[in-house]
């Protein structure tokens, strides 16, 4: 990349990602290699008025957060643009195997919470296999009928540890889980990194990695947010 400054988008998530359809707000951030195109880079989740959770592999030293977005190329009048004051990767993040793929972004000023910008709750416990969740973002859709400039939302189940390990032998750590459909056809895709997996109103996953997109026997892999509650809470409290 040619710049250290990234841009992050924060949006409303709904069943079909219709604008302002749900109370859960997420946001995404993008690299602005040129300020005209505003290239979409990664995503994240607003967890309170001052902090965003994203993936550590999306790290940039400076990030601009855009909250209240739905269509990333249209000014809808609901957006808030806030730069980062700190970007903190998990201290045990590994770029080798993408373990502990989580980071926190502190906003330089508090977000204004309203009907368009609402935090998502951190998990109170880990969600079991079979739990249905929503994954959302502006990544590649691989569909001529879907608009990648508009927030997309997909319902996916958390898979068992056995199915996850069988899909990626020797690659899944305790800090990861798989979600999606083993038959393929539905998945989070490139451009969705750092975005949320929300289950029963709680942030259970951060979009991390996978093989290809929506390929058979290769579901999406997500950082397991429930294992990082102590780090998230202590880091936010001390910064």
Handedness of CA 86, 92, 229, 186 (dihedral sign): positive
Q: Of 173, 175, 213, give the one whose Cα is nearest residue 193.
A: 213
The DSSP secondary structure of 142-200, one letter per residue, reads --TTS-TTB-EEEEEEBPPHHHHHHHSTTT--TTEEEES-TT-S----TT-TT-EEEET
Of residues 32, 50, 101, 192, which has the active-site annotation? Answer: 101
For residues 29 and 10, give the distance between their C-alpha atoms in angstroms, rounded to a whole number: 8
Active-site annotation holds for 20 = no
Which residues are 152's β-sheet partners?
137
Q: Give, as one character, the DSSP assignment of residue 139.
A: S
Of residues 57, 70, 90, 218, which has the active-site annotation? Answer: 57
Of residues 6, 22, 84, 193, which has the active-site annotation? Answer: 193
Phi-psi region of 38 (alpha: psi -120 to 50; beta: other; left: phi over 0): left
Active-site annotation holds for 101 = yes
**Backbone dihedral angles phi then psi of residue 45, each to the nearest 5 degrees:** -135, 125
For residues 121 and 35, give the distance between their C-alpha atoms in angstroms, rounded to a whole number: 32
Contact 131, 155 (CB under 8 A): no
**Backbone dihedral angles phi then psi of residue 47, each to the nearest 5 degrees:** -110, -20
Active site amino acids: 57, 101, 193
């Amino acid at each position: 990349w040619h710049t250290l400054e990234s841009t992050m988008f924060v949006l409303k998530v709904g069943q079909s990602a219709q604008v302002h359809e749900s109370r859960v707000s997420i946001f995404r951030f993008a690299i602005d290699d040129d300020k005209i195109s505003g290239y979409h880079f990664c995503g994240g989740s607003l967890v309170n008025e001052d902090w965003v959770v994203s993936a550590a592999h999306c790290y940039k030293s400076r990030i601009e957060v855009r909250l209240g977005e739905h269509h990333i190329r249209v000014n809808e009048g609901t957006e808030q643009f806030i730069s980062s004051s700190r970007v903190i990767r998990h201290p045990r993040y590994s770029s080798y195997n993408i373990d502990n793929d989580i980071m926190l972004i502190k906003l330089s000023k508090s977000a204004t919470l309203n009907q368009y910008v609402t935090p998502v709750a951190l998990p109170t416990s880990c969600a079991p296999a079979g739990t249905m969740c929503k994954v959302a973002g502006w990544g590649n859709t691989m569909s001529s009928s879907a608009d990648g400039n508009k927030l997309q939302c997909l319902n996916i189940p958390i898979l068992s540890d056995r199915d996850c390990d069988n899909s990626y032998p020797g690659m899944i750590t305790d800090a990861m889980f798989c979600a999606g459909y083993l038959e393929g056809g539905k998945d989070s895709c490139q451009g969705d990194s750092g975005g949320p997996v929300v289950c029963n109103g709680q942030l259970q996953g951060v979009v991390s990695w996978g093989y290809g997109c929506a390929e058979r026997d290769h579901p999406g892999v997500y950082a397991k947010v429930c294992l990082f509650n102590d780090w998230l809470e202590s880091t936010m409290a001390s910064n």
